[in-house]
Homo-oligomer: A and B are copies of this chain.
């Protein structure tokens, strides 16, 4: 029995490794169109920013390791061109046919660059692959650019801004939306805008760039979002969901029996709305990949979905979010109540640490059911932890009045007696 996996990064390799753990006898082949496998796309901005010294550090495994340690064949420069499911064959670009019994599609995503003219120029970059990052870093070192524009107010754009500022460039962030991170959230946008201003970053919102030449900067990074690589899947008869990504069951199976999809090419259920969403992220890709691999190897596992958790550092400021922003919740038909609080992260009498001693928290709930729908956490400390607490509450469908009583850790070096999460929940309770 042969499992073929298309894609040798997060989801694909998670699937292959997990399938091997479940079935020692499976014949497993991974097809990767690029030169490298198992590299950390999320690390690219930090290679530009200098926190990661070498691109090699971003590559975790080699094909040789997969062969030796897991008995998995990994082929690089092997681009799948056709999925012929009736014959259970993947046809490579060069014409070679590879038989499969089970197939995992983990073709990932590519930058969505639609409609911008002039992007083929030498000073234009995306930040999607190791080659992209190498080219950008070399350009910065060789050309010493002084100004940069980043197009796109998503997390990649914000990470690129921080990385370019760390290189001493004067940076302009250009976003087509008036609000950032695709959440339409005013609180979030205001906090990030203030932080960008503090770091001398010009932020132009509501600006659609049609021609690169209209932006007179020494360097431009395009961070205009992702497009799932679904073409060979769609051509092979695999169903695409409303989001434009591959539709999968909880077992990560597509409409074709024995064909699974995982990672940035696939949809996931948003557990707050109950509907399919396209939120391509490394964590989700790994989780989906594990389940796809397990199920492809015959196990019964499932991936219920995501709650939309995201964290990004903006010029040193931690910005995390999960679930729905107030506007998103409203569009989903909820009767939205929300609150924003700012509260200290330690008791006032505890003076050991410097930096902002406050964190800002936005909580969103449904008035009808009292259920928590989402939250945003902004601050210098404890952002990931507090976002993860809210994410856990969303997974568990917790109500605000329950949340307001939760038994959180307290000691002066770590938190105030009323954790900011509890203060936010109490505040929100009053509005329900």
Q: Which of A385-399 contact B (CB under 8 A)?
A: 385-389, 391-393, 395-396, 398
Hey, which chain B residues are within 8 Å of A201, CB to CB? none
Hey, which chain B residues are within 8 Å of A46, CB to CB? 349-350, 352, 412-413
Hey, which chain B residues are within 8 Å of A322, CB to CB? 407, 409
Is A306 part of the binding interface, using a Cβ–Cβ cutoff of 8 Å? yes
The reply to whether A407 and B389 form a contact with Cβ atoms under 8 Å apart is: no
Hey, which chain B residues are within 8 Å of A155, CB to CB? 411
The reply to whether A57 and B348 form a contact with Cβ atoms under 8 Å apart is: yes
The reply to whether B311 and A410 form a contact with Cβ atoms under 8 Å apart is: yes
Copies of this chain in the oligomer: 2
Hey, which chain B residues are within 8 Å of A209, CB to CB? none
The reply to whether B347 and A414 form a contact with Cβ atoms under 8 Å apart is: no
Hey, which chain B residues are within 8 Å of A312, CB to CB? 411
Is A303 part of the binding interface, using a Cβ–Cβ cutoff of 8 Å? yes
Hey, which chain B residues are within 8 Å of A396, CB to CB? 392-393, 395-396, 398
Hey, which chain B residues are within 8 Å of A398, CB to CB? 392, 395-396
The reply to whether A412 and B287 form a contact with Cβ atoms under 8 Å apart is: no
Is A51 part of the binding interface, using a Cβ–Cβ cutoff of 8 Å? yes
Is A307 part of the binding interface, using a Cβ–Cβ cutoff of 8 Å? yes
Is A283 part of the binding interface, using a Cβ–Cβ cutoff of 8 Å? yes
The reply to whether B407 and A311 form a contact with Cβ atoms under 8 Å apart is: no
A72-80, A333-341, A415-423 - interface stretch:
A415-423
Partner of A313 from B303, B320, B413 at Cβ < 8 Å: B413
Chain A residues within CB distance 8 Å of chain B? 10, 40, 42-43, 46, 51-53, 57-58, 155, 159, 271, 281-284, 286-287, 303-304, 306-313, 318, 320, 322, 347-352, 382-389, 391-393, 395-396, 398, 402, 405-415, 417-419, 421
The reply to whether B407 and A391 form a contact with Cβ atoms under 8 Å apart is: yes
Minimum Cβ distance to chain B for residue A242 (Å): 21
Partner of A395 from B57, B395, B406, B413 at Cβ < 8 Å: B406
Hey, which chain B residues are within 8 Å of A402, CB to CB? 304, 395
The reply to whether B351 and A313 form a contact with Cβ atoms under 8 Å apart is: no
A-B contact pairs, 8 of them (CB 8 A): A40-B412, A43-B347, A304-B405, A309-B409, A385-B385, A388-B409, A395-B402, A396-B398
> Could you tell me the distance between the alpha carbons of A349 and B59 in the complex, rounded to whole angstroms?
9
Minimum Cβ distance to chain B for residue A22 (Å): 12
The reply to whether B57 and A407 form a contact with Cβ atoms under 8 Å apart is: no
Hey, which chain B residues are within 8 Å of A308, CB to CB? 407
> Could you tell me the distance between the alpha carbons of A284 and B415 in the complex, rounded to whole angstroms?
14
Given contacts A40-B417, A43-B349, A405-B287, contact A281 B393 (CB under 8 A): no
Minimum Cβ distance to chain B for residue A259 (Å): 22
Partner of A392 from B287, B306, B311, B393 at Cβ < 8 Å: B393
